[in-house]
């Protein structure tokens, strides 16, 4: 995975046949080419530009509306559930999903992302047993980031 601002044709060439995920920067983390990405059109414009360079998929923790617009335009999206560092005010720096209420909220978010058309999800700092349940009950590829060994990708 590489931040969009750092992805160049030279990076694509250096990656060879590796699958490259491009991180589309949320407004809380900075800019892409000096612009904040705040609308679906801006996210789509950036995704098309980085697809032309050779990006294979895009990490996007933006709103459901933006993620839906990208999926409807055939942009492969990796979403995010759990601890989301770029939106840390949502959860604080802690494991997310330790209570039944939090786990249910995450489950609903995960299923909505699946319905939108996201092909994968990063589960970050989610209790292993919760993450395993999610993995067994979704069609999305599950990237585990501190969420146990049950992920499709570590």
| Set 10, 13, 122, 124: catalytic member | 124
Size of the chain, expressed as the number of residues it contains = 154
Task: Please report where in the chains the tokens 């491009």 appear, as a residue.
Answer: 22
Verify whether residue 45 is a known catalytic residue: no
98 touches 142 (CB < 8 A) = no
**In 96-149, which ranges are continuous DSSP H helix?**
100-116, 128-136
**Residue numbers annotated as active site:** 124
């Amino acid at each position: 995975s590489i931040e969009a601002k750092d992805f160049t044709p030279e990076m694509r060439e250096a990656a060879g046949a590796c699958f490259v995920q491009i991180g589309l920067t949320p407004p809380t983390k900075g800019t892409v080419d000096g612009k904040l990405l705040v609308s679906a059109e801006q996210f789509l414009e950036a995704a098309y530009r980085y697809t032309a360079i050779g990006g294979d998929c895009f990490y996007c923790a933006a709103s459901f509306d933006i993620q839906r617009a990208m999926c409807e335009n055939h942009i492969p999206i990796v979403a995010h559930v759990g601890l989301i560092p770029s939106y840390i005010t949502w959860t604080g720096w802690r494991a997310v999903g330790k209570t039944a209420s939090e786990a249910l909220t995450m489950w609903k978010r995960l299923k909505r992302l699946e319905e939108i058309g996201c092909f994968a999800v990063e589960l970050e700092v989610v209790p292993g047993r919760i993450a395993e349940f999610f993995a067994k009950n979704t069609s999305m590829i599950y990237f585990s980031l501190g969420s146990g060994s049950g992920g499709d990708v570590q």
